[in-house]
Amino acid sequence: MQSFSKFIDDRFKMFPPKDEVSVQGEPVKPLRSGDHVVIVGGGIAGSALARRLLMLMEKEDLDIRITIINTISCNYCGGLITNLALRTFNDVYKLRIPKDVVLTRIKDLAYINRAGTINIDIDYTMLGVLRTSRFNVLGFDDAFKQMITRGLSDKVEKALTIIEPAKVIDIISGEQLNKKWKICYEELNSLGESIKKEMEADFLAIAGGLKMLNQPVLKKFMQLTGYQPPPLMPASVTEIDTSNAKVNIMDDKLYIVDGIIPGAVLGLVSKGKNWLTLTSLGKKITKNELDIIFKHPVVKEHLDLPEISGHLRCKCICKANVYIGAAENFYGDNWAIIGDLNGLGRVLKDGYLASLLSGKLVAETLIYIGKDRHSLHDNYYKAIKRIRNDNHVGIGLFKLNTILSRSSFFNRFLIRSANIEKEKHQNSGPLIVALRALMTGDLPYKWITVLFIQGILKRILTPWKFLNKHKLRTNRN
């Protein structure tokens, strides 16, 4: 008989969006030949919107100009492409990630807290990449930009212009239906001199990511449109050179390190031999805290690298932010916010998929329905708003965990309970399924919560199994 947790895992597993056009309704004021779309930001969301627009333009024989204005900067990201994001990239955007972009294929997962480790298997691989090109490695964002027109006709290829490095310095309102936007920007010429230019747009997409929040141009845009950014959680990112480690079994793995530093949940993503990307959620960790984490006996079983703060590839820990809720008023007549700035992806997980999805929805709305506020509300906002309620559950789960992870008893209870499940059920026990889904993004948070409740209650209601002596290594620090 199939277990309840296996049923949940099979029945409610999330699937990538289909390649088919998903928008519905009668055309109101779609883009037409001769129109100009300007996309501010050349990250995943901006490239996704441009690629999907070009694909649909070719299909419908439209002659629309698309311009991406992009500022080259570092992107603070763990660099993990989930199975859902990868399938969306392959199926919807008809692209394959180049081999030289993939640094590692994640084949195993592990959860660590103060009491021990839970090893978790997955039946597919996730990809470790860099977002921004660095260390002589091609980043995913740059590779995507290079592939925007791949496989499309010469006519469609000529419709795209990418201006970089460039910085948008002013946006003049075009929200009235019959009025164009004016975008003012600075571009470097061949002599390295900054030249001010401007262009007009029939539709404006803002895809600059959360780093754009402190820029004056976005603050002015907020005043023009009423856009309100999503609420944020502090985070941090750093890259670690592990070549001098005494012990290193982290290759090709994804780790969650929970509660070693109160209030912080760490993600450790292998980038191949001797390379690890560390992200922290809940707080920006310091170098001193980083050393404390990797001096912990449980962590040292996996990576023993004394004074790890002296082995950072960039010599620093970068401050970052992640959204924990939805933005308000992120679309209107002739404009839309896409990607992280709309705050309507899975919180704390899979910004790649959210960016790919918002690019698809906005492109299809513009081509087939309209570029007005009502069309975007019905076919962009409504299609992703269901994520909002599940995100409330996800944030609640995160906050509850920050409290429970301070308890030595709970840490031991979770590790022992999950390992009992592994001995009996392999990978189908409720706690194992819940932890795996947290790391892969395969299930909605509400079902992850249900599985955690089931797994904990099961152990509480069968205490004789829990109290039996198990040959289980735990650390009671």
pLDDT at 428: 85
Residue 175: the pLDDT is: 61
Report how far residue 387's alpha carbon sits from residue 345's, in angstroms, rounded to the nearest whole number. Answer: 7
CA 362 to each of CA 258, 343, 356, 452: distance values in angstroms, whole numbers, following the listed order: 37, 15, 10, 36
pLDDT of residue 269: 95
For residue 387, the model assigns a pLDDT of 86
Where are the alpha helices (H) located in 204-283, listed in sequence order? 216-225
> Confidence band (pLDDT; 50, 70, 90) for 351?
confident
What's the rounded mean pLDDT across residues 147-156? 96
Nearest to 321, CA basis, from 405, 236, 400, 258: 236
pLDDT band at 174 (very low <50, low <70, confident <90, very high): low
- Domains, the chain, with CATH or none: 19-101+138-231+324-384 (3.50.50.60), 239-321 (no CATH)
Bridge partners, residue 80, by sequence: 128
Q: Can you list the alpha helix ranges (DSSP code H) found in 257-331?
A: 287-295, 297-300
Q: What is the pLDDT of residue 179?
A: 79
For residue 93, pLDDT beyond 60: yes
Supply the mean pLDDT for the chain. 91
229 closest CA partner among 326, 361, 348, 302: 326
Residue range 33-62: mean pLDDT, rounded: 97
Q: CA-based Rg of the chain, rounded to a whole angstrom?
A: 23
Q: What is the pLDDT of residues 16-26, one digit of tens each?
A: 898 889 888 89
> What's the length of the chain?
477
Name the token pair of 417: 């309970």
Residue bearing tokens 């039996």: 468
Q: Which residues pair with 205 in a beta bridge?
A: 39, 336
pLDDT at 476: 42
Does residue 438 have a pLDDT over 80?
yes
Spatial contact of 273 and 103, defined as CB atoms under 8 Å apart: no
3-state secondary structure of 211: helix
**pLDDT digit string (tens) for 203-234?**
999 999 999 998 999 999 999 999 999 999 99
Q: Tell me how far the alpha carbon of residue 430 is from its chain's centroid.
A: 25
Give strand pairing partners of 203.
37
The single residue listed with the structure tokens 């012990």 is 247
Sequence-ordered alpha helix ranges (H) in 92-215 = 140-146, 154-157
